[in-house]
Structure 1
Amino acid sequence: MDAVTAPVPGLERALDVEARLGPIEDHGMTRAGHRRVVPIVGGHVRGLFDAEILHGGADWQLVRPDGAVEIDTRYSARTAGGEHVFIRTFGVRSGPPGVLAALGRGEPVDPSEYYFRIGLHLETSAPRLAGLERSIFVASAVREADLVRYTAYRVT
C-alpha cells in the first residue's frame, strides 16, 4: 500500500490586531519563574471580523533565565453587533540580551532584531463566526512601548 501524503499547510491572511498595553506588573520570582503581568487595556481587530478589544485582559508572562519571554495572553473583543470573541495567544519573544533590554525599556527596536511568534486560539458563541473555532492561526508580532501589533494567518 502506498503511503498517503498529507497536504502541505499554507497561510491565509486573517486578522490584523493592535492591542494596547498598560504598565507591566512585575510579580518577581515565583515557583514557575519570573512572572510579569501586562494588562491589555484596549485596541482593535480587523479582518475576518472587526471588533474592539475590551479592557480587562492580560499577558501572564514568564521570563526565562535566558531572557526570552513566554507569552500567555487572554482577552476579549466585541464586534459592533455585540458578538464576543475570546482570544488566547501563546508563544515566545526572544533575542539578544541588549535587544530584549531595549524592548523592556519601551525603546523602538526593529522587529527583525528579535523573534516574536504566537499561536492563536479563538472562541465565540456567535454563529456567523463559528468557523474561527475550526482553524489554527499563527502570527508574527511586533512589540512597541505601549502596544503589540500582529497579523494573524489561518493555517490552511
Structure 2
Amino acid sequence: MTVDPPVPSLEYAFEVVADLGPLEDHGMTRAGHRRIIPVVGGSIRGAFTGKILRGGADWQTVRPDGSIEIDGRYSARADDGSLLYIRARGVRSGDPAVLEALLGGADVDPAAYYFRAALTLESADHPEFESSVYVASYVREANRVRYVAYRVS
C-alpha cells in the first residue's frame, strides 16, 4: 500500500522587528558583491517574546541581477532571560527599480518584491524550536526589517 506524505501547512509562530545599522558595502569579493548590515536591536513577539540583541548582522551577497542572498544571524533574549539564536537564509528579489528603491530607503509595498527565508532556531531553554522547520515572510523598511515566522506542520 502506497501512502502519500502529509501536506504541510503553516502555523503562526512569532513576529520579529529587527532594527538595522548602516549598510557596510564590502564591494566585489571572491564570493560576489558582499554587503553586511548590522542588527542593532529590535523585538520578538509570539511563541518567544523578548528583545533582539545588538551584535548580529545580515551577511548579504548581491547577485548580478540585483537580487540578494540573505544570511542573517542574531540572538534574542526572552523576558525570562532565556536565549534564542536565529539564522535566516533566504532571497530578496524583484524588479531592479523596486530593489533600488528599497536600497535607497523608500517605502515600497511588500507585494512589489519577493522577500522570504528559511529559519533555523537554537535554544537550550526552548528545545521545541529545534525540532521544527520555520519559514518567514519579510517587509523591508528604511532602518529595519519586519517578518512573520511560521512553523511548517
TM-score range relative to shorter protein:
over 0.9
Deviations 1:72-106 (A, max 9, x none): 01000001211010000000000001000000000
* Percentage of pairs with the same residue: 60
Aligned to 1:110: 109
Of 109, 130, 134, 2:131 maps to 134
Aligned to 1:148: 145
Aligned length: 153
**Stretches of structure 2 lacking an aligned partner (at least 5 in a row):** none
SS at match of 1:9: coil
2:15 maps to a residue whose letter is D
Aligned to 1:78: 77
1:154 maps to a residue whose letter is R
1:69 maps to a residue whose letter is I
SS at match of 2:79: coil
The TM-score with structure 1 as length reference comes to 0.97
The TM-score with structure 2 as length reference comes to 0.99
SS at match of 2:60: strand
Aligned to 2:8: 9
**Aligned CA-pair RMSD:** 0.5
Where do 4+ consecutive residues of structure 1 move more than 6 Å? none
Cα distance in 2 for residues equivalent to 1:152 and 1:29: 32
Cα distance in 2 for residues equivalent to 1:81 and 1:94: 37
SS at match of 2:130: helix
Cα distance in 2 for residues equivalent to 1:142 and 1:80: 25
Aligned to 1:60: 59
2:42 maps to a residue whose letter is G
Cα distance in 1 for residues equivalent to 2:85 and 2:21: 19
SS at match of 1:108: coil
Aligned to 2:68: 69
1:134 maps to a residue whose letter is S
Cα distance in 1 for residues equivalent to 2:58 and 2:98: 20
2:141 maps to a residue whose letter is E
**Stretches of structure 1 lacking an aligned partner (at least 5 in a row):** none
C-alpha displacement of 1:3 = 1.3
SS at match of 2:66: coil
Cα distance in 1 for residues equivalent to 2:135 and 2:142: 23
Cα distance in 1 for residues equivalent to 2:131 and 2:14: 15
Aligned to 1:50: 49
Aligned to 2:118: 119
